[in-house]
């Protein structure tokens, strides 16, 4: 299913992974032309069966989540505990440039799929791994999902909420997508080096490491203990970077990291009197002088006088960075997002649906085709034939239910 005339055309990838983080990495490679073979159990990746938990109906041949992570791939479904099926995997890896997995270290060791074992057989192989907590340390074999390893363990959930409320409602896949794209960057670097030197490499990341890096600015700053998170929004060190409620009950996030924007912001919002107030003459005075809450209150009062549309008009005219806190339904109709090809439209049995493209774009290669994800084991037989297996050998494994070939929806 490799896309032609893409940057990674001709690259072969074997993906032995479930859920979202590692498949996100493989999906990026597939979009750029790599031939990605996804290895599933005969039961299929669990993400195939989670529509209700995500607020989607159970519909035949319609799974936007699985398509987002697994479009442009081929699928093989087999029982790797069967020696013949494991042999098939080894033949695939022997032909591959990249091997991607999210199995935990202990499971990889048990199956003989650790990097140290595979690099002896396949010295040019780029081996990519993403886990919850990393490949080393006392917790390397703990199960890790983005809710736990990315959001909670990293300090994000416990720090970035207003103390007037409670920790935010979490949504799946944010941490997975972040870690998956970090892994893709490392894979491409290792692939370049392998082509240049003939030597493979292990590239790894974790949900925890990705979350820590993502928060790097303030997480490092926490060492100085000047700011105490979680905090009340009103006590933010920079009231210009807060989110304020408008007259019509909408929230607008503004961002003024540069104090020099204060005069034009004050003029736009009718707060000129603040410019001559001795309490707000400098950033140091606002923070060290303890006047931040007073400034917050003044800005909040100004916002409360106008509707979101009126504030947007004022701040746009003044060239102040801001954005309306949109709902997902509004984002799906966002004119700028559509203009920049963030979305595309796909035809499903229930009608046309908005699908999300990978955020990285290539100017000359253009946008890749969006081919929907394969059924469970849809390509098992054809891939085995390409590896030299006979019809009899394939049918024997099919009869024993050690492999699966599906041409219909899994629902």
Range 37-66 average pLDDT:
92
pLDDT of residue 408: 65
The encoded tokens of residue 187 equal 């894979």
> Average pLDDT, whole number, for the chain?
95
Is the confidence at residue 289, as pLDDT, over 60?
A: yes
Q: At what angle do helices 174-197 and 21-31 cross, to 10 degrees?
A: 50
User: What are the tens digits of pLDDT across the range 7-45?
Assistant: 999 999 999 999 999 999 999 999 999 999 999 999 999
Buried b (16+ CB within 10 A) or exposed e, 203-228: bbbbbbbbbbebbeeebeeeeeeeee
CA distance 225 to 301: 30
- Check 45, 97, 176, 341 and give the catalytic one: 176
pLDDT of residue 92: 98
**DSSP secondary structure of 16-59:** E--SSHHHHHHHHHHHTT-EEEEEE-TT--GGGG-TGGGT---B
pLDDT of residue 389: 97
The encoded tokens of residue 378 equal 């849809």
Asked about 176 being catalytic, the answer comes back as yes
The encoded tokens of residue 404 equal 């699966």
pLDDT of residue 136: 94
User: What are the tens digits of pLDDT across the range 173-220?
Assistant: 999 999 999 999 999 999 999 999 999 999 999 999 999 999 999 999
Query: What pairs with residue 348 in β-bridges?
Result: 351
Helices (H) and strands (E) in the chain, counts: 17, 12
User: What are the tens digits of pLDDT across the range 307-342?
Assistant: 999 999 999 999 999 999 999 999 999 999 999 999
pLDDT of residue 411: 42
Mark residue 173 as left, alpha or beta (left: phi above 0; alpha: psi -120 to 50; beta: remaining): left
Please say whether the beta carbons of 145 and 132 come within 8 A. Answer: yes
User: How would residue 54 be classed by pLDDT, with cut points 50, 70 and 90?
Assistant: confident
User: What are the tens digits of pLDDT across the range 367-406?
Assistant: 999 999 999 999 999 999 999 999 999 999 999 999 999 8
What share of the chain in percent tops pLDDT 90? 90
Length of the chain (residues): 411
Domains along the sequence of the chain with CATH: 12-214+341-404 (3.40.50.10540), 233-245+251-324 (3.30.1540)
CA distance 187 to 127: 8
The encoded tokens of residue 192 equal 């370049």
């Amino acid at each position: 299913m490799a896309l032609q005339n893409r940057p990674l055309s001709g690259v072969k990838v074997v993906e032995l992974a479930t859920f979202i983080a590692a498949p996100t990495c493989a999906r990026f490679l597939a979009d750029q032309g790599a031939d990605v073979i996804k290895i599933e159990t005969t039961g299929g990746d669990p993400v195939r069966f989670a529509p209700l938990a995500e607020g989607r109906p159970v519909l035949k041949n319609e799974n936007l989540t699985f398509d987002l992570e697994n479009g442009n791939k081929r699928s093989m479904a087999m029982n790797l505990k069967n020696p013949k099926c494991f042999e098939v995997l080894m033949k695939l890896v022997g032909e591959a440039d990249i091997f991607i997995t999210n199995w935990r270290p202990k499971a990889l060791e048990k199956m003989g799929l650790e990097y140290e074992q595979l690099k002896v057989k396949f010295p040019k192989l780029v081996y990519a791994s993403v886990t919850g907590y990393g490949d080393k340390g006392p917790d390397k074999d703990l199960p890790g999902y983005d809710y736990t390893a990315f959001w909670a363990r990293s300090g994000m959930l416990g720090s970035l909420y207003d103390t007037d409320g409670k920790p935010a409602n979490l949504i799946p896949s944010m941490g997975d997508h972040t870690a998956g794209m970090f892994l893709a960057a490392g894979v491409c670097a290792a692939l370049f080096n392998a082509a240049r030197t003939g030597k493979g490499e292990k590239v790894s990341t974790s949900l925890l490491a990705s979350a820590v890096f993502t928060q790097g600015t303030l997480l490092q700053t926490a060492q100085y203990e000047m700011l105490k998170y979680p905090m009340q929004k009103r006590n933010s060190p920079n009231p210009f970077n807060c989110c304020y409620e408008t007259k019509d009950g909408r929230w607008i996030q503004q961002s003024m990291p540069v104090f020099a924007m204060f005069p034009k912001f004050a003029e736009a919002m009718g707060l000129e009197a603040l410019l001559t107030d001795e309490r707000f003459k400098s950033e140091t005075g606002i923070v060290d002088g303890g006047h931040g809450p007073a400034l917050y209150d003044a800005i909040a009062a100004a916002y409360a006088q106008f509707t979101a549309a009126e504030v947007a008009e004022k701040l746009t005219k003044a060239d102040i960075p801001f954005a309306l806190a949109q709902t997902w339904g509004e984002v799906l109709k966002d004119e700028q997002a559509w203009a920049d090809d963030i979305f595309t439209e796909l035809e499903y049995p229930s009608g046309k649906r908005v699908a999300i493209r990978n955020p990285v774009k290539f100017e000359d290669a253009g946008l890749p085709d969006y081919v929907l994800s394969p059924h469970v084991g849809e390509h098992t037989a054809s891939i085995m034939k390409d590896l030299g297996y006979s019809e009899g050998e394939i049918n024997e494994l099919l009869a024993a239910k050690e492999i699966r070939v599906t041409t219909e929806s899994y629902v």
